[in-house]
Amino acid sequence: MTVERVISETKDQFPIGMRVLAVDDDPTCLLLLETLLRRCQYNVTTTSQAITALKLLRENKNKFDLVISDVHMPDMDGFKLLELVGLEMDLPVIMLSANGDTKLVMKGITHGACDYLLKPLRIEELQNIWQHVVRRKKFDRKDRYNSGSQDKPHTEAAGIGNVDQNRKFNKKRKDQNEDEDEDHDENGHDNEDPLTQKKPRVVWSVELHRKFVLAVNQLGIDKAVPKKILELMNVEKLTRENVASHLQKFRLYLKRLSCVATQQANMAAALGSVDSTYSRMGSLNGLENFHTLAGSDQLHNAAFRSFPPSGVLGILNTPAGLGMHGLPSPGMIQLSHVQNSGSTCNDQSKLQSFVISGNHNANILQGMQMSLELDQLQNNKGVSHIGEQPTANNTTVFPVSVSLIDARITGCSNNPLIGIKSKSLMLEGSSQQATLHASASNLRDSVSAMGYQNGNNLSDFTSVAPAPNQLWDSKADLQGQACPISCNAGQIIRSAPQELNDPRKDAPYQLNVLCSINSSIPVNGAMVQLGQCLDRNNPILCRNMDLDSIGPPNFVDPLSIKHGEGDNSALESSAIEKDGYLIVQPRPQGSYIPDNIGSLEDLANAMMRREQDKGKPANGDFGCNAYSLRTCI
């Protein structure tokens, strides 16, 4: 029908002239790449420096359709560039490397790469890269439309999974948006209104995002539909489409968080249904271990990418604390301390007080679709535990690595744990802090690190509870899990004291990462913000993990919020107060994040390292408002 025809016509022309930015420090490879791309009739711009590439991209976001970048570059790590591009510009990025290790490829995926090519390059491989541009456009479009028409909470969650669905959807609208492809150079957002005149992009500021998160929480993740959210937010000039696309990102973010938290290895599950992920989580008992999102900004541990508590906490909290099942909107996920006594968190359900350490990145969390996460949590009974105060042994911080990456979310499903099972890893007081967050690294890098950073070693997380392996098998899982957490975190984050402040940006930025659900989350910046959010009063979000505490690599300290505290219920408040980290305290010993987290950790670590390397908490731009960075239309 017309749609098909339109599509094919567009396709016929579209790949030709597609604007590609190629980045590789090796001149031989760059020359080869350029020539190959030109042979495919693309419009090529090359640079041998990542910094230059970023500059070019920032100058004019509409200038390019696709970015291809080498992984090993002297001035900036390719993954870092990948994250930044994804966050700031939301362009599809393809990674290139001579090294095809599974780990690296996975890293690329978790950081948001839409493809990973091996050197030496062949023309056949490049001939189809335009598909990534089209896919992204459609996906975004679908997001918009779906949100509007279907109002399905989880529609976008899968991201990848939805692509097909999106396509169909998109096709319907395709004829309406004939020029969408052209306009789609940028993230889909730009084309949000193909039908109407081009609207100015909406910048999701911290305030705006906070309102958004509040609204989502109020409605409940299941029922959070753009229309209602819009009504609740009551912001002028904000359209349903804006909210819809933001919601989508948020959901993804939460999903990632939850995945991280649960450490489930089920990537698949997470992808498709956040719910399932959570269900698993719920079972975990208390899943709640939701990532101790300790937002310690020093995520240096990278492992801590676990989603800043704020995010996670938010999610967990919703149900009032804990029972998370229904994670009702309260963003505060307060995970009761899970008693990790012997890692038997299982019963605990205690979510281990999910301390969402003041993730600085309040923003992120806010963004996070808490409801989304919550839903999942709800499903997971496990979440319910949240209320319970685990005898706190372990405050396992449940690092919720919010894998913002859509795909990544799948991780969540795996481990029924989010917690964890029981003991959950997560919470195992492990100092590890929620290495889950590591998984969060999916979050595009930073989110995973959720703030914890206390320096902790996110690696600790890996030690997370017994299930760790499962959990982290796929970082993604965690990510998914992380997502939920992020939701609340958003809320929490907001309130979180600003302690996390910038210096900690690194840590918090993890949270930020969360926010950017669409991997566009400026992890760096966001995280910081998240950290901030955690308000003391927000039990959930472990309020910023005391920056001070973060100082020392052990991030866990803050987290260990006093597991013993006993006041699990109070965790929220107490937790927060104490260390400021709501995060479920990872017990120093606790290791709770399953091995899987390890991978996240690596990711997170890498991210953190990168961050550190940069010397500034947030990559310049991100530094602070994760949301501002992201502009949504």
Partner 1 sequence: MERNPMRRQLAVMRQSLFDQGYLDEQFVQLEELQDDANPNFVEEVVTLYYRDSARLILNVEQALERKPFDFNKLDGYMHQFKGSSSSIGAKKVKAESTLFREYCKSGNGEGCMRTFQQLKKEYATLRKKLEAYFQLARQAGPMETACHPK
Q: What is the CA radius of gyration of the chain?
A: 21
| 21-29, 76-84, 315-323, 326-334 -> range binding partner 1 (CB under 8 A) | 21-29
For partner 1, which is the closer residue by CB, 104 or 235? 104
Q: Residues 479-499, buried b or exposed e (16+ Cβ, 10 A)?
A: bbbbbbbbbbbbbbbbbbbbb
Restricted to residues 42-71, the positions that interact with partner 1 (CB under 8 A) are 70
- Is there a contact between 329 and 534 (Cβ–Cβ < 8 Å)? no
For partner 1, which is the closer residue by CB, 34 or 548? 34
- Total residues contacting partner 1 by CB under 8 A comes to 20
In angstroms, what is the minimal distance from the CB of 32 to partner 1? 5
For partner 1, which is the closer residue by CB, 34 or 178? 34
Selected from 2, 62, 99, 176, the binder of partner 1 by CB under 8 A is 99
Instruction: Give yes or no for residue 120 binding partner 1 (CB under 8 A).
Output: yes
What's the per-residue H, E or C state across 563-599?
Answer: HHHCCHHHHHHHHHHHHCCCCCCCCCCCCCCCHHHHH
In angstroms, what is the minimal distance from the CB of 382 to partner 1? 41
Restricted to residues 269-328, the positions that interact with partner 1 (CB under 8 A) are none
Selected from 2, 8, 13, 35, the binder of partner 1 by CB under 8 A is 35
Burial class (CB in 10 A: 0-12, 13-18, 19+), 584: buried
Instruction: Give yes or no for residue 128 binding partner 1 (CB under 8 A).
Output: no
Q: How far is Cα 366 from Cα 369, in angstroms, rounded to an integer?
A: 7
Q: How far is Cα 395 from Cα 225, in angstroms, rounded to an integer?
A: 34
In angstroms, what is the minimal distance from the CB of 126 to partner 1? 11
- Is there a contact between 441 and 577 (Cβ–Cβ < 8 Å)? no
In angstroms, what is the minimal distance from the CB of 481 to partner 1? 33
DSSP assignment of 592-632, as one string? -S-HHHHHHHHHHHHHHHHHHHHTSSS-TTTTT-HHHH-EE
Structure tokens at 167: 């396509």
Burial class (CB in 10 A: 0-12, 13-18, 19+), 228: middle
Instruction: Give yes or no for residue 100 binding partner 1 (CB under 8 A).
Output: no
For partner 1, which is the closer residue by CB, 16 or 31? 31
In angstroms, what is the minimal distance from the CB of 627 to partner 1? 36
Instruction: Give yes or no for residue 32 binding partner 1 (CB under 8 A).
Output: yes
Count of positions (residues) in the chain: 633
Q: DSSP code of 44?
A: E
Give CA separation, 598 vs 172, 302, 446, 469, in Å. Answer: 43, 10, 15, 9
For partner 1, which is the closer residue by CB, 31 or 51? 31
Smallest CA-to-CA distance from 287 within 206, 398, 379, 405 is with 398
In angstroms, what is the minimal distance from the CB of 120 to partner 1? 4
CA 144 to chain centre: 20
Structure tokens at 195: 């039908």
338 has which bridge partners?
Answer: 394
Selected from 72, 172, 228, 616, the binder of partner 1 by CB under 8 A is 72
Selected from 26, 182, 207, 347, the binder of partner 1 by CB under 8 A is 26
In angstroms, what is the minimal distance from the CB of 65 to partner 1? 22
In angstroms, what is the minimal distance from the CB of 26 to partner 1? 5
Instruction: Give yes or no for residue 36 binding partner 1 (CB under 8 A).
Output: yes
Instruction: Give yes or no for residue 41 binding partner 1 (CB under 8 A).
Output: no
Selected from 7, 29, 113, 324, the binder of partner 1 by CB under 8 A is 29
For partner 1, which is the closer residue by CB, 13 or 35? 35
Instruction: Give yes or no for residue 121 binding partner 1 (CB under 8 A).
Output: yes
Instruction: Give yes or no for residue 462 binding partner 1 (CB under 8 A).
Output: no
Q: How far is Cα 199 from Cα 190, in angstroms, rounded to an integer?
A: 8
Instruction: Give yes or no for residue 31 binding partner 1 (CB under 8 A).
Output: yes
Q: How far is Cα 433 from Cα 604, in angstroms, rounded to an integer?
A: 12
527 has which bridge partners?
Answer: 509
Q: How far is Cα 87 from Cα 521, in angstroms, rounded to an integer?
A: 5
In angstroms, what is the minimal distance from the CB of 73 to partner 1? 10
For partner 1, which is the closer residue by CB, 35 or 60? 35
In angstroms, what is the minimal distance from the CB of 114 to partner 1? 21
For partner 1, which is the closer residue by CB, 46 or 339? 46
Instruction: Give yes or no for residue 104 binding partner 1 (CB under 8 A).
Output: no
Selected from 27, 55, 179, 613, the binder of partner 1 by CB under 8 A is 27
| 115-123, 237-245, 255-263, 333-341 -> range binding partner 1 (CB under 8 A) | 115-123
In angstroms, what is the minimal distance from the CB of 70 to partner 1? 8
Give CA separation, 126 vs 44, 106, 183, in Å. Answer: 12, 20, 22
93 has which bridge partners?
Answer: 67
Selected from 98, 103, 231, 613, the binder of partner 1 by CB under 8 A is 98
Q: At what angle do helices 370-379 and 206-219 cross, to 10 degrees?
A: 30
Instruction: Give yes or no for residue 235 binding partner 1 (CB under 8 A).
Output: no
- Is there a contact between 446 and 512 (Cβ–Cβ < 8 Å)? yes
For partner 1, which is the closer residue by CB, 96 or 202? 96
Interface residue list for partner 1 (CB under 8 A): 25-29, 31-32, 35-36, 39, 70, 72, 97-99, 119-123
